Chain A
């Protein structure tokens, strides 16, 4: 039944299958037996590589974090204006989900699983956006703005909610009316609306951020 694979390849095939299963069913919905069946090996082989389901799950997360999106290119290539950087970051984030939609599924599963390791992992991914938005608004908003602190927090939340919802609609519950709209196009409009809502007009769209690859 099972084909003999060298260690690193076997490990990689276990990680790949586990990622798919965890994405589909959540941490508690998957057993080592099921993963073993999926890669056509005995559970003992899985345990030889990963001593427990938790260790295997952590390794899946680690593998995903190694592919984490880098915003360095955006910062180097785009202007340093708030709107350019935010647009560039949004595109990079969308691209990473597009390449690996399991990330989105595991994120949702982890919110329900309450696994601290996973929730930190995903919180940290969104923190790039909320940090950037909060830091930039803190620099820009006049000190006498009413409800200044809450407004800054709310702006970060608003953006995160908007982008996450667009990704959910596009990848997890595709709807006819969104089929013909590209995510990049959608994200441009979302960023524009967001900027208007927080009182920043997108002034120079021509210096739009460029992503590599």
Chain B
């Protein structure tokens, strides 16, 4: 069993596409479910922080490995 409910591959895409696709993905999820996002745009770190802060969804984790940024977001109840 994976530790997230949905996954979004936004590698190679520049803002606002990762955010926009995350917004759409989250809209289709149930409250409390989690979405894992993989991105390569370094600006996405700040963007997902701002996105979660403003939408109330919870940024559970954020990390970087070999130029790939991963974010785990929990849909607000």
How far is A85 from B16 in the complex, measured between Cα atoms in Å? 9
Q: Is B68 an interface residue (CB 8 A)?
A: no
Number of A-B contacts (CB under 8 A): 49
Candidate in B13, B16, B20, B50 with the most chain A CB atoms within 10 angstroms: B16
**Per-position 1/0 for B19-55, Cβ under 8 A of A:** 1100110000000000000000001001100110011
Distance between B40 CB and nearest chain A CB, rounded to angstroms: 11
How far is A150 from B23 in the complex, measured between Cα atoms in Å? 29
**Per-position 1/0 for A119-150, Cβ under 8 A of B:** 00000100110011001000000000000000
Candidate in A75, A124, A127, A128 with the most chain B CB atoms within 10 angstroms: A75
How many residues on chain A are close to B (CB under 8 Å)? 17
Mark out the residues of chain A between 53 and 89 whose CB falls within 8 Å of any chain B CB in the assembled complex.
68, 70-76, 80, 85, 89
From B15, B20, B23, contact of A70 by CB (8 A): B15
How far is A76 from B47 in the complex, measured between Cα atoms in Å? 11
From A72, A80, A85, A132, contact of B51 by CB (8 A): A72
Interface majority SS (helix, strand, loop, mixed), chain B: helix
B14:A74 contact, CB within 8 angstroms: no
B43:A132 contact, CB within 8 angstroms: no
Q: For residue A127, which residue of chain B has the nearest CB?
A: B14
B50:A80 contact, CB within 8 angstroms: no
How far is A76 from B50 in the complex, measured between Cα atoms in Å? 10
Mark out the residues of chain B between 62 and 77 whose CB falls within 8 Å of any chain A CB in the assembled complex.
none
Distance between B16 CB and nearest chain A CB, rounded to angstroms: 4
Distance between A147 CB and nearest chain B CB, rounded to angstroms: 23
Complex interface: chain B residues within 8 A of A124 (CB): 14
B23:A135 contact, CB within 8 angstroms: no
Query: Can you list 17 pairs linking A and B with CB atoms under 8 Å apart?
Result: A68-B43, A70-B46, A70-B47, A71-B15, A71-B47, A72-B19, A72-B51, A72-B54, A75-B23, A76-B23, A76-B55, A127-B14, A131-B13, A131-B14, A131-B17, A132-B17, A135-B13
- The 6 A-B pairs at the shortest CB distance, nearest first, are namely A71-B16, A128-B14, A127-B14, A72-B50, A131-B14, A75-B19
Name A's B-contacting residues (CB within 8 A). Answer: 68, 70-76, 80, 85, 89, 124, 127-128, 131-132, 135
